[in-house]
Amino acid sequence: MTGLSRRKSTQAILDGRIKIDGQVEFYPRRELDPAVSKLTIDDTPLQYRADQKVVYLLNKPAGVLSAMTDDRGRKTLADLIEGRIKERVFHVGRLDQGTSGIIIMTNDGDLANLISHPSSEIRKTYIVKIKGSLKDEELQLIRNGITLQDGFTTSPADAYITRKDRETTTLRLTISEGHKREIREMLRVIGKRVQNLVRVSIGGLHISLVPNPGDIKKLSKKEVELLKKKK
């Protein structure tokens, strides 16, 4: 919409001044097609413009929900980007509340589908610290694929140990799926508890572009193409 800020438009909706096809609209997130629906404020038709497609890379801190709203008042991605991203964007995929690392924010639905669809096989790499040690046969189970407690069988993963000490083991683990809590559940099957989990890459994009929790970077066309990299 032109000539009407998001805050003013929300207030106008609450005041009952906005109508869609002649009917008063009270829901601020209603989706409509401007080619077939007529939107007015105070009975004056509003003009539309298509937002330019944008892609941002965000380093999500642990403790933040991968959501735009939360009815329990917890901190969300929307809180992180408020005042920093002017376009209306959504997140592609999710990271657990306790997981940190990179996540894509965009208004490009086609790109979002490409990244998230399993057939695209876009690889995502994580650094995982677990409590205790990991035997060779347990590591091989991760590499071969594991049947989780919900019945889902993971695809083969690239996994190797990067560090071991007396109490913890750190892995670098790469997968091309997005099953809910997949890495945590994989390790749970073999009796391991995750202490820290960070996503460090998606396709050819690395967390070094946004090295600090809360960092945001608008991606160039070249960087977006790296995002699509499968190997």
Catalogue the active-site residues. 96
H or E element at residue 189: helix 182-189
CA distance 33 to 54: 20
CA distance 162 to 142: 15
What is the token pair recorded at 115? 């990244």
What is the token pair recorded at 139? 């590591």
What is the token pair recorded at 161? 């140990």
Work out the widest C-alpha separation in the chain, in whole angstroms: 70
Q: Which residues contact 37 (CB under 8 A, 6 or more apart)?
A: 20, 21
Cβ–Cβ < 8 Å for 77, 67: yes
